Amino acid sequence: MMTIPSHGRQSMRLQDWSLGSKVALVFAIYSVVMLLGITTVAYLDGLNRARELASERVHGLALAAEGYVHEYVNGIAQDTLTQTLSPAMLAYRDAILTGDAEAIAGAKAALEAHLTVHAQTRPYVYQARVLDAASGRELVRVVRDTRFGDLRSAALQDKGHREYVAEMRRLKPGQLYVSAVTLNREHGVIEQPHRPTQRFGRLIHDEDGDPVLMLVLNVGFRHLVFRLQRLYGESTELMVFDEAGYVLAHPNTDLEFDFETGPGTKAVDLFGPEAALFGQQWSSNSGNTLTVETEDRLVGLRRIRLSPLARQDLIIGAAQDPAHYVASLTSIGERSWMLAVGFLAVGSLMFGVVGSILVRPVNHMLAQIDAYEPGGGGAKPGRRMLDRRDEFGTLARAVYGLALRTEAQMRSAKGARDEMESMFQTAADAIVFVDEDGLIEDVNTAAETLFGWTRAELLGRRASILLVPEDPTLTLGREREDGSPLQLVAGRSSEAVRRDGSHVPVVLAISEVGTGRGRRFVVIIHDASHVFALEAARSASLAKTRFLANMSHELRTPLNAVVLHAEMIADEAQDVGNAQMIEDSTNIKDAARHLLDLINGILDLARIEAGRTELSLEPIDLELFVSEIRSMAQALAVAKGNTVRIETWGLPATITADRVKLRQCLLNLISNAAKFTEKGIITVEVSHRPDRLNMAVTDTGIGMTDEQMTRVFDLFEQANSYIHGQFGGSGIGLALTRSIMDLMGGTVMVESEVGKGTRFSLSVPLAVDEAEQEDQPHTVVAAGSTLALIVDSNSERRIARMTSLADVGLRVVGAASVRDAIERVVLHGPDMLLVDASETVDGAVSGLRQALLAEPATAAVPILFLSEGAEPDTLQITGPCGRLRTLRIDAAVAGAMTGCLGCGVDRTVMVVEDDAGMLRAIARAVEREGLPAVVFGNGDDVLVHLRHHAPAAVLLDLSLPGANGFEIIKALKASPRTAAVPVFVVTGIDLTVAESVWLAEQADAVVRKADMDFEALMALVVSTVSAASKSCALDTLALSGAPHQDALGTGGADDAAIGHRRAVAE
């Protein structure tokens, strides 16, 4: 607490000061701080400006020195040029070239006299020499006396060993030689006293351009330094460094040229790493100016190129002591302080006067506030100053408004209390107020209803009686051993105890509404009986779904075995000609398949309800889709003499949707229409728009009432009780259709009139960016007995191959891609597929093979792979056996390709199945194909067998006792001996997406028992095992010397060509 000493014994506290005095004190402190800040900023700014001025001065001096040095060097360059072109020099050169001794002597004397006269006018030249360019010996030598400055001839020396002589020989014509600055040496010894020297020279050439003489001028470096010092003046120190950074001139003369006698002093030693970077890495394209600040100096360095004709540099430095600017900065600071004190005195006086005027209305306002009592009926504060237009008027209006709002809030608070009491009593959840000792202070009506106690009976009781004794949540205060308060919780489950002793599941939320001595807690108790009931219903629904799925799976396996045995019995009966047995086996098979269809429908519904069904989106050609529907609808309608009409809009077009589920929904509707219509018309409508696909099935059958239409989509529901007896059916199809439409985001609607017929409409949303695509024409080029489907995305090559093969007797159809070929297999029923080798990437042919196997009529159709041969009119063909042949296109190639089928095999097929009936049926089917079979009923025996044997193929169920099917596949792939064994998975379990993807990579085929085409599966096994064929139909036409190798060994064909087909059957 701040106190101000007074003259008496008591001290005056700061809070005892008047408002005006406090504001004046704040103003004074603020003024001092602000002026101090301004002064500091002004001082720092002045210091920066002083440094900038010093930097500008040193760089200006360095720049001026650069101009002087250039002028100095240019003068010397001009002198050397003048001397080399002087008559005396040219006469001496000519005399040497002639070899006349008398002429040489005369010319030499004239040249010595000329150089002496010239050097007399150039005080910086202390030595002028003419050397023989070839040998480096001196021919003329004129030297200035070190004491008196007289010029005289001196004894000649041999300089051929000197480095500068070798450097001058490399000069180009007209180029100036400038040496580095060094101490002059005579006979290899540094001259005493030291004479810093820089040499300038030029070559004198003959008429052929060959060098004859060298002119060398030794220039005293101190002459240049002296002139630069005069330029800088006394306030600036001169520093000169060579291009390597060594000291040439410095205020400390001991540092000059110390590199001649020792390691030497560099700029980096004086100014730090910045100078090293500047001295070593400068180039003509980089900056040539550097400022370095030491402890006591500001140094500006400038790198100077002495002459454009010579790559010699000097670094000129100018150093100044920043102390020259301190005096001016000190005077600036003193004036700033004087100005600050003056402002402070005047401001304090003015503020004291103004403050007293401003404080008076504030004191009056405070008195009114002290006298005001909210709701007392007295005058409200600020009323007398409401008319003022200044800030005090604004303050008075604010205080007056605050008084009005306070009274309004008091009235509102009373209303809120009444409203909260009403909410408290009408809340749906039980609310209990508990004090810090755990006693009930209040409860609402819902608590009375929940617990069966009245409010009066609960007040004062301990809150712990509301919960079961095992739950200590509401036990607190003295009831706890440690006396700890109630723990705050949110969403905690517990059980409440009613007055009659019954238990109710509840959810608790406890929060604190008071602190300190008056701590209170509010407990909200939510009756969770309906939540537990809902959870029980959900559990029952999930249990029902699991039960349906499990029971359907358990039923499908023996039913598949019944179908297989019935088919085999029919085959044997047909072989022996027993018509009665054929009819009985056909009835058994039809009944089993009907029951299997019902179970599959139930399983599909169970999968959809369990969220385990996912859409398989793919491009669909609507024209092909409608063609498929037409053939299937006609087969359904013919039983009761119905006629099928197909109406389309917006076709041709291609959409992206789940083909299987879309076809399933439409066929369900067509099947119902055919079932309830006799000798009528069934109309199928397909309408395509960019964002939606609409389909409808209209019949002229018996129709339905409005009440029947409300139940038609319910599971196991039919229009009325006699429908099942008269028309059959299970009531699953329409329920499954609605579930699939919900999964696809579409809708299904029904319109019907009794006696006139029914119309079911399907609407499926499509992606907005789907565009209609026109079908590429696929022309049948020729007619013949054998139909080949040519698959090639290159239209020119496809048409050329179609034409050439049609010429040799084949009937051909084209497809632009493997996906397109899959669509056209059903429409055209080809006898063989000729696929270009470029279409086999990414396993695309697997889907094509699966499409062939899906139809009995095409299950045995071979796939041949084509590529261009090395010679004209030849093709390289890889047959199903995997062998590569090169054949010439002629009449015989048609028969060879038609006969290209797999041959017999002699290796064992392993059958693994846990159902005994299914195991026997599959084993017999394998043996009927001429393949030996070995059977296993559990996975552990399979693993033991695989340690010693490698089967030709494996037919594998996934759900097995012991090791399951996934573990068996991993064991097969882990061993190099069995890694290539084909695996065909035959399963009845529902696979997840991850399991399906893994099996698609590891197995050669995955077939669901519910959708299994047994003949196609056997054909796939036979075609796979027959890869070890002993002969090939193509061998008879293979060209001599053409490639003849197994595609398995060379990678010459897709895996699908030899049976390694990976697909997930729908």
Q: 505: domain CATH number?
A: 3.30.450.20
Predicted confidence band at 673 (pLDDT cuts at 50, 70, 90)? confident
Residue 945 sits in the same domain as residue 866: no
Mean pLDDT across 958-978: 86
The tokens of 771 are what? Answer: 């565009």
Q: Taking residues 232-238, what's their average pLDDT?
A: 80
137: pLDDT confidence band, cut at 50, 70 and 90? Answer: very high
Count Cα atoms within 13 angstroms, Cβ side, for 953.
31
Residue 724 has pLDDT above 60, yes or no: no
For residue 887, give every residue at least 6 positions away whose Cβ sits within 8 Å of its Cβ, in sequence order, or none. 869, 874, 875, 877, 893, 896, 1034, 1037, 1038, 1039, 1042
> Regarding predicted confidence, which is higher, 180 or 652?
180
> 1061 and 985 in contact (C-beta within 8 Å)?
no
Distance CA 510, CA 525 (A): 9
> 1047: which DSSP letter?
H
Q: Kindly write down the DSSP assignment for every residue of 114-157, as one continuous string.
A: HHHHHHHT-TTEEEEEEEETTT-BEEEEEEE-TTT--EEE----
59: nearest Cα among 292, 328, 326, 323: 292
Rounded CA-CA distance 550/528 in Å is 33
pLDDT at 862: 67
This prediction has a pTM of 0.34
pLDDT at 552: 56
**Closest C-alpha among 759, 733, 732, 764 to residue 747:** 764
Q: Which domain holds residue 117?
A: 85-223
Distance CA 354, CA 300 (A): 56
Which residue from 916, 906, 834 is spatially nearest to 877, judged by alpha carbons?
A: 834
Annotate 694-725 with b (16+ C-beta within 10 A) or e (fewer): bbbbbbbbbbbeeebbeebbeeeebbeeebee
In a domain, 1051, yes or no: yes
Is residue 131 within 8 Å of residue 138, measured between CB atoms?
yes
To which residue do tokens 């998975």 refer? 985
Between residues 831 and 709, the one the model is more confident about: 709
> Could you tell me if 440 and 407 lie in one domain?
no
3-state DSSP assignment of residue 989: coil
Percentage of the chain exceeding pLDDT 90: 5
What pLDDT score was predicted for residue 66? 83
Q: What is the pLDDT of residues 274-324, one digit of tens each?
A: 776 555 544 444 457 778 877 777 788 888 887 776 667 888 888 877 666
Domain boundary among the residues 419, 453, 483 is at 419
Residues 148 and 117 in one domain: yes
Contact 162, 136 (CB under 8 A): yes
If pLDDT is split at 50, 70 and 90, which confidence band does 131 have? very high
For residues 445 and 397, membership in a common domain is answered with no
Rounded to an integer, the average pLDDT of 982-1000 is 85
Provide the pLDDT for residue 341. Answer: 72
- Which range, of 256-265, 727-736, 740-749, 963-972, averages the lowest pLDDT? 727-736
3-state secondary structure of 389: coil
pLDDT interval class at 779 (50, 70, 90): very low
Same domain, 104 and 206: yes
> Can you say how many angstroms the Cα of residue 217 is from the centroid of all Cα atoms in its chain?
72
More confident residue, 216 or 826: 216
Mean pLDDT over the full length of the chain: 75
Query: Residue 901 above 60 pLDDT?
Result: no
Q: According to the model, what pLDDT value does residue 597 have?
A: 66
Model confidence band, residue 216 (pLDDT cutoffs 50, 70, 90): very high
CB of 202 closer than 8 Å to CB of 171: yes
| 790 contacts 815 by C-beta, under 8 angstroms | yes
549 shares a domain with 523: no
Strands (E), 517-642: 520-527, 618-621
Q: Average of pLDDT values for 741-749? A: 84
Please tell me the predicted confidence (pLDDT) of residue 514: 62
**Closest of 826, 837, 850, 832 to residue 792, by C-alpha:** 837
CA-based radius of gyration for the chain: 56
Contact, 24 vs 355, CB < 8 A? yes
- Work out the number of other CB atoms within 10 angstroms of the CB of residue 313: 19
The reply to whether 236 falls in a domain is no
pLDDT digits (tens, 9 = 90+) for 529-587: 777 777 776 776 666 666 665 665 566 667 677 777 777 787 777 777 777 787 777 77
Tokens 């603020």 found at: 30
- 879 vs 702, higher pLDDT: 702
Tell me if 977 is assigned to some domain. yes
pLDDT at site 401: 81
Residues 895 and 1043 in one domain: yes
Check residue 327 and give its pLDDT.
Answer: 57
At 1048, the pLDDT band (50, 70, 90 cuts) reads: very low
Q: Which pair of tokens denotes residue 315?
A: 């670094």
Q: Domain end: 502, 527, 552, which one?
A: 527
Mean pLDDT (whole number) for 241-249: 84
Q: Cis (ω within 30 of 0) for the bond into 196?
A: no
pLDDT, tens digit, 9 for 90 and up, residues 340-351: 677 777 776 777
Q: Are 858 and 848 in contact (CB under 8 A)?
A: no
Per-residue three-class SS string for 29-91? HHHHHHHHHHHHHHHHHHHHHHHHHHHHHHHHHHHHHHHHHHHHHHHHHHHHHHHHCCHHHHH
The pLDDT, as a whole number, for residue 400 is: 80
Query: Confidence band (pLDDT; 50, 70, 90) for 1027?
Result: low
DSSP H or E stretch at residue 874: strand 874-878
Task: Give the model confidence (pLDDT) of 13-55 as tens digits.
Answer: 666 666 656 666 777 777 777 777 777 777 777 677 767 777 7
Residue 857: inside a domain, yes or no? yes
Judge contact between 151 and 142, C-beta under 8 A.
Answer: yes
Q: Is the same domain home to 656 and 567?
A: no
Domain-terminating residue out of 555, 580, 604: 604
> Region 447-457: what's the mean pLDDT?
85
Q: DSSP assignment, residue 611? A: T
Is 60 exceeded by the pLDDT of residue 843? no
759 and 796 share a domain? no
pLDDT at 785 over 80: no
Give the torsion sign (CA, 996, 1000, 1002, 1006). Answer: positive
Helix (H) or strand (E) run with residue 648 in it = strand 643-649
Residue that wins the pLDDT comparison between 780 and 862: 862
Q: Are residues 627 and 759 located together in one domain of the fold?
A: yes
| CATH classification of the domain holding 812 | 3.40.50.2300
* Cβ atoms of residues 876 and 885 within 8 Å: yes
**Residue 26 maps to a domain:** no
Q: Is the pLDDT of residue 78 over 50?
A: yes
Which of 600, 1061, 1026 minimizes the C-alpha distance to 852? 1061
Query: pLDDT class for 1057, splitting at 50, 70, 90?
Result: very low
Q: Pairing between strand 654-657 and 618-621?
A: antiparallel
Q: What are the structure tokens assigned to 800, written together?
A: 């050329």
Which pLDDT band holds residue 771 (cuts at 50, 70, 90)? very low
Band of pLDDT at residue 174, cut at 50, 70 and 90? confident
Distance, CA of 909 to CA of 901 (rounded, Å):
20
In angstroms, the CA 673 to CA 681 distance is 9
Taking residue 244's Cβ as centre, other Cβ atoms within 10 Å add up to 14
Strand partners, 512: 521
Closest CA to 748 of 686, 665, 692: 665
Mean pLDDT of 980-988: 87
pLDDT confidence tier of residue 336, bands split at 50, 70 and 90: low
The dihedral over CA atoms of 827, 832, 836, 838, expressed in degrees to the nearest 10, equals 80
Q: How many CB atoms lie within 10 A of CB 658?
A: 20
Token code pair at residue 336: 């700033």
Average pLDDT on 152-164 reads: 87
Confidence of residue 213 (pLDDT cuts 50, 70, 90): very high
Residue 419: what residue type? E
The verdict on 91 and 211 lying in the same domain is yes
Residue 107 in tokens:
């010319």
> Tokens at residue 581, please?
């047995």
Share of residues in the chain with pLDDT > 70 (%) = 74
More confident residue, 641 or 597: 641
Q: What pLDDT, on a 0 to 100 scale, did the predictor assign at position 211?
A: 92
What is the torsional sign of CA 901, 906, 910, 915? Answer: positive
pLDDT of the residue at 983: 92
CATH number where 717 lies: 3.30.565.10
347 belongs to a structural domain: no
How many domains would you assign to the chain? 7
Residue 681, H or E segment: strand 681-689
Residue type, 147: R
- 756 and 619 within one domain: yes
Question: 21 in a domain, yes or no?
Answer: no
Q: Is residue 214 part of a domain?
A: yes
Rounded to an integer, what distance in angstroms lies between the CA atom of residue 1065 and that of residue 925? 20
